[in-house]
Structure 1
Amino acid sequence: MDEVEVVVAHSERATLRVGEVFLKVDADRARMDAEVAAMSLAPVPTPAVLWCEPPVLALAALPGAPLGHLGGPSTGSRAGWAAAGATIRQLHDAPLPPRPGRAGRSAEELAVELDEECGLLVASGLLPADLVARNRRVAEAALRPWTPAFTHGDLQIAHVLVADDEVTGVIDWSEAGRGDALYDLATFTLGHEERLDDLLAGYGGDVDREAIRGWWSLRSLLVVRWLAGHGFDPFAPGCEVDVLRARM
């Protein structure tokens, strides 16, 4: 009998693996429905939906391995990173999905959330004031008008699978929808900033690198407290706090 592997688990959702099947447990029915809908619309390889009986979604495993992990070394080749960039471009150029995604908040909404979060980070003593202030200034570059694209919304490096320098699948679509394409690019290269050129070689076009750097700071500032409160360690080497320190 196959063992049950806990892939990720926190108070909002959990993912289990049993052999070649992933079971995603999510109490938010709307989020699960949105994930299934996004996978059906995305013009890139996605897991096959085996069945969906809320609160559980069963997905088939995909071949391949991530190019790396946040906090770990990048194991992918330059060609693999370029292939990932080309796949992300294909997604961003696709017809817009009907709903806004995680990357779809306006600059005004983000600025309010960011100011509040920065205040809480300093008041709680979780991060020093100078580190927060410096990254708050860097984050300004991400707070700009943008043209909506079909975004994944949680495009961590572990969510794109590659084999023989070809993308075999993109997983975890619960945050997908209309949004800022550069949010996806920044999320994918978070902690692996030195691979941005390789990614953009496949993505192509004229990309605002300052906005991507802004997103590295903005995204990290917004998630540090959440991660620390849900059993994750943003202070681990190469993770969010190190990303913030790199801006100093």
Structure 2
Amino acid sequence: MTGVDDVEIIVAHGERATLRVGGVFLKVDADRARSDVEVTAMALAPIPTPQVLWHQAPVLALAAVPGTALGRLGQPSSAPPEAWAAAGAAVRRLHEAPLPPWPGPEPAEVEAGLDRQCHWLRSSGVLPADLVERNRQVAGAALREWTPVFTHGDLQAGHVFVRGEEVTGVIDWSEAARGDALFDLAVLTLGHEEHLGDVVAGYGRPVDVDVVRGWWSLRSLSAIRWLVEHGFDPFAPGCEVDVLRARM
């Protein structure tokens, strides 16, 4: 048989899976609410997003966006500083947009979740206690009241696609909500700290770097249990555990 595209598994675990067939991504999500959020958020966002081809729960079909990912956690980015600055400018446009109609997590909720994860990391022995404690201290800078903005919620560098100095698309909007602007900037630069200055330059507003560092620690501490339990490796070079070690 000729002319048939191969099926590529992009990511798959117990909660969701993403497949690529030619120029189409098929996202299968057991949680209908997440896919509904994704579709609505993409329609509201004032920056480039994938075209929705069809949505019939539990499957969402999206057209591939042009360009290449800005970066990948654990790998050096080949994108120029101008591309990172363009990503910062796109994030500011998102943050200046009207708030989405659904809420996001409050600081107290985030802190309670963080403390549960730190307790598990210490009691399980996955990380040394001093590494957990130091990063819990650093994370405290992020745990303050913030003015909510329209946040992507999972703005990894791998979710931002660029071509040259242009942002061509931002993918994976299922965590979009009202939230802290500096959380998006922190997730975008997680593991790519050398590009924080480029992103801030493009963002065009003053940024409290201590809060960004706090979110780096908080994000990494909060993610490790989920990653381990779903078959991912936060100990890989340049990934979450290395981000925590950098704070020591």
TM bucket normalised to smaller: over 0.9
Q: Which residue of 1 aligns with 2:243?
A: 243
Secondary structure in structure 2 of the residue aligned to 1:178: strand
Letter in 2 for 1:231: G
Q: Which residue of 2 aligns with 1:95?
A: 98
1:34 aligned onto 2:23: no
Q: Which residue of 2 aligns with 1:25?
A: 28
CA displacement at 1:199 relative to structure 2: 0.6
CA displacement at 1:119 relative to structure 2: 1.1
The whole-number CA distance in structure 2 between the counterparts of 1:153 and 1:7 is: 20
Q: Which residue of 1 aligns with 2:12?
A: 9
Letter in 1 for 2:69: P
The whole-number CA distance in structure 2 between the counterparts of 1:111 and 1:173 is: 23
The count of residues paired between Structure 1 and Structure 2 equals: 245
CA displacement at 1:144 relative to structure 2: 0.5
The whole-number CA distance in structure 2 between the counterparts of 1:67 and 1:120 is: 32
Secondary structure in structure 1 of the residue aligned to 2:119: helix
Q: Which residue of 2 aligns with 1:222?
A: 222
Letter in 1 for 2:95: H
CA displacement at 1:244 relative to structure 2: 0.2
* Aligned sequence identity (%): 69
Secondary structure in structure 2 of the residue aligned to 1:236: coil
1:184 aligned onto 2:184: yes
TM-score, reference length from structure 1: 0.97
Counterparts of 1:196-235 in structure 2 under 5 Å?
Answer: 196-235=196-235
CA displacement at 1:27 relative to structure 2: 1.0
1:151 aligned onto 2:151: yes
CA displacement at 1:221 relative to structure 2: 0.3
Letter in 1 for 2:128: P
The whole-number CA distance in structure 1 between the counterparts of 2:167 and 2:184 is: 16
CA displacement at 1:87 relative to structure 2: 0.4
Extract unaligned runs of 5+ from structure 1. Answer: none
Extract unaligned runs of 5+ from structure 2. Answer: none
Which digits, 9 at most, give the CA deviation of each residue in 1:192-240, with x for residues without a partner? 0111001111001111111000000001000101100001100000000
Q: Which residue of 2 aligns with 1:131?
A: 131
The whole-number CA distance in structure 2 between the counterparts of 1:150 and 1:129 is: 35
Letter in 1 for 2:187: T
Give the aligned CA root-mean-square deviation in angstroms: 0.7
CA displacement at 1:63 relative to structure 2: 0.4
1:81 aligned onto 2:103: no
After the TM superposition, which segments of 4 or more aligned residues of structure 1 sit over 4 Å from their partners?
Answer: none
CA displacement at 1:117 relative to structure 2: 1.2
The whole-number CA distance in structure 2 between the counterparts of 1:158 and 1:111 is: 26
Secondary structure in structure 2 of the residue aligned to 1:52: strand
TM-score, reference length from structure 2: 0.97
The whole-number CA distance in structure 2 between the counterparts of 1:115 and 1:247 is: 18
Which digits, 9 at most, give the CA deviation of each residue in 1:56-114, with x for residues without a partner? 000001100012100000111011110010001100110101012xxx32221122221
